[in-house]
Structure 1
Amino acid sequence: MAQHPTDANVYFVPARSKAPIFASVSMFVMMMGVASWLNDVSWGKVAFFTGMAMMIATLFYWFGEVIRESQGGHYNRQVDVSFRMGMVWFIFSEVMFFGAFFGALFYTRQYALPWLGGEGDGVMTNALLWDGYSAAWPSAGPGQVGGHFQTIPAWGLPLVNTLILLTSGVTLTIAHHALKAGQRRALLFWLGLTVVLGITFLFLQAEEYIHAYSELNLTLGSGIYGSTFFMLTGFHGAHVALGTIMLLVMWFRALKGHFTKDHHFGFEAAAWYWHFVDVVWLGLFLFVYVL
């Protein structure tokens, strides 16, 4: 049975849930599916989407349990602090995740390409393996893997998307202030506008990908540039999609009267995540598109 906190010194312990095992099974099916799909196994795509559907259903049920516990008054200050610590560590793990990809980009541009071009310790590599290779960025690498391609200009859609995300950070901050001021209608308007901006960003990024694949021959297989470009922007886009879903859930919760001026960590957690996504995009815009 779940414990109900009777005072500030009692930490709420929820009742046993089957959700974690369902989430584990769903993730296993999804990962098996995507691995099989990438290796051209016939049932890979079906397994991937089946696992994804299972995961969505599991998370919908699991998060619903947490919301019901929160609305039931089960969470005291100790629980709130633990939630905040958990979110901080989660965002830190995301920083490390993107740091690895930014690190790969930095290593490629500052070390790997110059070595292949004959600088420093790469003299013999250039002479024996890739004689005459010009180490210029952007590059498909020696052998022009994926063929000739064109890059996406920074001052087109990427700039528009940058302005959209920066604006969404402002609208979300206004929504947060409206929540703390008890202005429910303003909260719904500004939070809803943030969701619309997130969806617009994803739509424009999809347009950018279509343009890259169909007209610029810039694909995930376009050597080291194509792989780093799509890994960084693609994973960021996935995080924008997740953040948009989180904010949309917060909008529906606010519409139902959830959150108060003093107790609204669910909203704050989603806002933290969204601001993190904004900061990552600024790094992407500078190091992937501009430089």
Structure 2
Amino acid sequence: MSNLVLFKKNLQKHPFHLVDPSPWPFVGSMFAFSCTISAVLYFHMFEIGSNLLVCNFCFLLILMFLWWRDVVRESTYEGYHTGLVQQGLRYGILLFIISEIFFFVAFFWAFFHSSISPAIEIGSIWPPKGIQVLNPWDIPFVNTLILLLSGCTVTWTHHAMISNLKTQVVISLSFTIILAIIFTLFQAYEYNMADFRLADGIYGSTFYMATGFHGFHVLIGTISLFICLVRLLNYQLTREHHFGFESSAWYWHFVDVVWLFLFVSIYWWGGI
């Protein structure tokens, strides 16, 4: 820790972290807005839409790396994440997960609105005529078992970290990441084998929007857990300071629960 940081901490008479001015919130919002605009151009089949989307997304990933690097430095090397700061961060991740719950509520609402009372335009039946639904006891059931097992391994990781058992933490966290990758590969294979697409009416729209965004959340959770593994191997996570992993574990349990609702409502009940 540098002398300047020690001097600033000695002057600070409270446990809160006053963040230094940072360009990342403004730059991040600009790239997020650019990603949205380029996605709209891509959906409307503009020639530059796909190239713009890929470029903006790559810049957004670079920005995320730089921003997280600053947060890791503030937490690990500068000691700004006190107990009170970590408590505030826990409230923040809980509110974020609640907002994600309402995000998925919109998709479930659209699905049940269309399936419980099918419109005459789709023949007043559900699934609509011509849609060959996926067998819920095939890949979806296997993926359910995989996610439930990954929830067990990430809980094992948390308990091992609290008990300061680093070897078990590395093994269990690696198992979680491997299971997450297997889930994503199975999901991609299922999409490739499906006989319907996003444009195939209300069933295709609600199915791919709900399961696709869940798959995107699985991808984000996998990246977050992988970053935790790298930080763990670099001795940046301890039994007292591991909020980065704790938030990732909460997020992963949220992903597990959402998938259970997806499996029961969309794959099982909605495919009857």
Quick check: 1:283 aligned with 2:261?
Answer: yes
Number of residue-to-residue matches in the alignment:
263
Q: Give the counterpart letter for 1:74 in structure 2.
A: Y
**TM (normalized to structure 1)?**
0.87
1:138 is aligned to 127
Q: Structure 1 residues 5, 187: CA separation in 2 closer, same or farther (over 3 Å shift)?
A: farther
Equivalent of 1:103, from 93, 109, 113? Answer: 109
**Alpha-carbon displacement from aligned partner over 1:230-280 (angstroms, at most 9, x marks no partner):** 000000000000000000000001111122212211110000000000000
1:251 is aligned to 229
What is the CA-CA distance between 1:161 and the residue it aligns to? 0.3
Q: Structure 1 residues 263, 7: CA separation in 2 closer, same or farther (over 3 Å shift)?
A: farther
The structure showing larger relative contact order (alpha-carbon pairs under 8 Å, at least 6 residues apart) is 2
Give the alignment of 1:10-29 within 5 angstroms: 10-29=15-34
**2:10 and 2:124 mapped to 1: Cα distance?**
63
Q: Is the 8 A contact 1:175 1:190 kept in 2?
A: yes
What is the CA-CA distance between 1:195 and the residue it aligns to? 0.3
**1:50 and 1:40 mapped to 2: Cα distance?**
17
Q: From the CA coordinates, give the structure whose radius of gyration is larger.
A: 1
Q: Is the 8 A contact 1:8 1:77 kept in 2?
A: no
Quick check: 1:227 aligned with 2:205?
Answer: yes
**Alpha-carbon displacement from aligned partner over 1:18-68 (angstroms, at most 9, x marks no partner):** 111211121122111110000011111111111101100001000000000
**1:5 and 1:268 mapped to 2: Cα distance?**
29
What is the CA-CA distance between 1:7 and the residue it aligns to? 7.0
Quick check: 1:83 aligned with 2:60?
Answer: no
Equivalent of 1:184, from 141, 166, 172? Answer: 166
Q: Is the 8 A contact 2:177 2:222 kept in 1?
A: yes
Q: Report the secondary structure of 1:189's partner residue.
A: helix
Quick check: 1:206 aligned with 2:188?
Answer: yes
- The worse-fitting range, judged by mean Cα deviation, of 75-84 and 56-65 is 75-84
**1:266 and 1:88 mapped to 2: Cα distance?**
13
Q: Report the secondary structure of 2:237's partner residue.
A: coil
What is the CA-CA distance between 1:90 and the residue it aligns to? 0.3
1:127 is aligned to none
Ranges in structure 1 where 5+ consecutive residues have no aligned partner: 118-129, 141-147
Q: Give the counterpart letter for 2:124 in structure 1.
A: A
What is the CA-CA distance between 1:77 and the residue it aligns to? 1.9
Q: Structure 1 residues 59, 285: CA separation in 2 closer, same or farther (over 3 Å shift)?
A: same
1:157 is aligned to 139
Q: Report the secondary structure of 1:4's partner residue.
A: helix
Ranges in structure 2 where 5+ consecutive residues have no aligned partner: none
Q: Structure 1 residues 249, 187: CA separation in 2 closer, same or farther (over 3 Å shift)?
A: same
What is the CA-CA distance between 1:8 and the residue it aligns to? 7.6
Q: Is the 8 A contact 1:171 1:190 kept in 2?
A: yes
Q: Give the counterpart letter for 2:266 in structure 1.
A: V
Q: Structure 1 residues 70, 107: CA separation in 2 closer, same or farther (over 3 Å shift)?
A: same
Q: Is the 8 A contact 1:220 1:227 kept in 2?
A: yes
Instruction: Tell me how large the CA RMSD over aligned residues is.
Output: 1.7
1:197 is aligned to 179
**1:10 and 1:163 mapped to 2: Cα distance?**
43
> Where do 4+ consecutive residues of structure 1 move more than 2 Å?
1-10
Q: Give the counterpart letter for 2:91 in structure 1.
A: M
**TM (normalized to structure 2)?**
0.92
**2:262 and 2:15 mapped to 1: Cα distance?**
44
What is the CA-CA distance between 1:6 and the residue it aligns to? 6.5
What is the CA-CA distance between 1:101 and the residue it aligns to? 0.6
Quick check: 1:39 aligned with 2:44?
Answer: yes
Equivalent of 2:242, from 264, 268, 273? Answer: 264
Quick one: percent identity of the two aligned structures?
Answer: 38
Q: Give the counterpart letter for 1:53 in structure 2.
A: C
What is the CA-CA distance between 1:82 and the residue it aligns to? 1.1
